Amino acid sequence: MAPKSLEKSKIKFLLLEGVHPSAVEMLRSAGYENIELHQKALPAEDLKAAIANAHFVGIRSRTQLTEDVFAAARKLVAVGCFCIGTNQVDLAAATRRGIAVFNAPFSNTRSVAELVIAEAILLLRGVAAKNAAAHRGEWQKSATASYEIRGKRLGIVGYGNIGMQLGVIAEGLGMQVQFCDVVSKLPLGNARQIPGLDQLLAQSDVVSLHVPETKATRNMMGAGQLALMPRGSILINASRGSVVDIDALAANLESGHIGGAGIDVFPVEPRSNDDEFLSPLRAFDNTILTPHIGGSTVEAQANIGMEVAEKLAHYSDNGTSTSSVNFPEVALPEHEGSHRLLHIHHNVPGIMSAINRVFSEYDVNVSAQFLQTNEAIGYVVIDVDAEYSDLALEKLTNIDGTIRSRVLF
């Protein structure tokens, strides 16, 4: 039997990692009451048990949604990443199962940019090291190697939503902004795009990384790249821990080649606030080490909670998939007076004709049809008269190549 439209009270949301209460408020206001909340990420086996009967799951950056976890999540319809990064989700596995993945691409970008600017100022002034010394009772009053941010060259690696905002704020403080990116970008203000990473590194006083975690960005700042940076320059990483070779950075801090570092993300991060943070960088006073809190402000978290919860509720209520990171995007009107069939299928030839055959063969009155595809899957939404929806759903579900289908009343 094909799955029917579920009562809202039966639709389960599993929210992990202390997602902001604004998400719960938003879901409740949309009529969803079955919400299981956890303040932490769950260990793998507990996650599989909890996700087994969840229709929606909300995570941040710690929960790894792997093939194995998806295999245990038989009822899962969509994932909400209450953050920007989606590298913690096996997107291909989600897509294969017809599970839509959403994130919040903008809500915490300002928070990250502000933290980076603060760190650039503090590190250029040597405040990190002087502060650590003062805590030990040492008084290091000196202007040696203490600089204003004004006039310094900021090299931004990855000129996306965060990199661009950072550039604008930095320019307001008098910095010379330059960036590199894999695609050509329109520079804001007086910023300049530099053709390659090596060139950017060689001519920047402060380098800040804002790339996603991909194969290409893994260890993109290794020993060779750090050596290109001018002696005494500053490195800031608030992107992903895999982007910087931490041992190479430690060696460069030890030798004094790198004058200071602000690191918010690490190759291995503690699973919870109760676990010890281990890193060779702990040995260096001239580093600002933060526990992956670039986007953790009250404002950002509240906005992310609302934004992602709204996307999940909307997808659940009427099938709209706009801004999904792995799913064909369809913006749908309401479907009052008709039942809405949602059909997700492998993007192979012949499926659309098989779908349309169902409606002509059984003389089903279709009031609206929407179709969108990506390389892997197709997503078709069909509004039909209520009396036909059971039959049509049954027939659609039996078409070869169907991944999943559901009906909304």
Ligand X SMILES: O=C(O)CC[C@@H](O)C(=O)O
d(CA 310, CA 203): 44
Query: How would you class 135 by CB atoms within 10 Å of its CB: exposed for 0-12, middle for 13-18, buried for 19 or more?
Result: exposed
Choose the stretch contacting ligand NAD; rule: CB under 6 A; options: 26-34, 42-50, 92-100, 235-243: 235-243
Asked if 339 and 387 touch (Cβ cutoff 8 Å), the reply is no
Residue 18 in contact with ligand X, rule: CB under 6 A: no
Question: What does DSSP assign to residue 138?
Answer: -
Among positions 98-137, residues that touch ligand X (CB under 6 A) are: 108
Are 220 and 245 in contact, with CB atoms under 8 Å apart?
Answer: no
Query: Around Cβ 150, how many Cβ atoms within 10 Å?
Result: 10
Q: Tokens standing for 12?
A: 């389960």
> Has 339 been annotated as catalytic?
no
d(CA 291, CA 269): 8
Task: Output 265 or 380, the one with its CB closest to ligand X.
Answer: 265
> Does 61 participate in binding ligand X (rule CB under 6 A)?
yes
Cβ at position 234, least distance to ligand X in Å = 21
Is residue 295 a contact residue for ligand X (CB under 6 A)? yes
As a whole number of Å, the end-to-end CA separation of the chain is: 17
CB-CB contact of 365 with 385 (8 Å): yes
Q: Is 269 annotated in the active site?
A: yes
Choices 31-39, 206-214, 251-259, 309-317 (CB under 6 A): range interacting with ligand NAD: 206-214
Smallest separation, CB 209 to ligand X (Å): 13
Do residues 237 and 264 lie in contact, with contact meaning Cβ atoms separated by under 8 Å?
A: yes
- Give me the DSSP letters along 222-236: -HHHHHHSPTTEEEE
Q: Which stretch binds ligand X (CB under 6 A): 4-12, 44-52, 83-91, 189-197?
A: 83-91
Closest distance of CB 379 from ligand NAD, Å: 23
DSSP classification of residue 168: H
Q: Report the residue from 23, 50, 51, 83 that binds ligand X according to the rule CB under 6 A.
A: 83
110 binds, among ligand X, ligand NAD, none (CB under 5 to 8 A by kind): none
Annotated active-site residue 67? The verdict is no
Q: Which of 114, 171, 213, 269 is catalytic?
A: 269
Give the distance between the most distant pair of CA atoms in the chain: 86
Q: How far is the CB of 304 from ligand X (least distance, A)?
A: 8
Would you please indicate which residues are annotated as catalytic (active-site) residues?
A: 240, 269, 292
Residues that bind ligand NAD (CB under 6 A): 84-85, 108-109, 112, 157-163, 180-183, 210-214, 216-217, 238-240, 264-265, 292, 294-295
Residues that bind ligand X (CB under 6 A): 60-61, 83-85, 108, 295
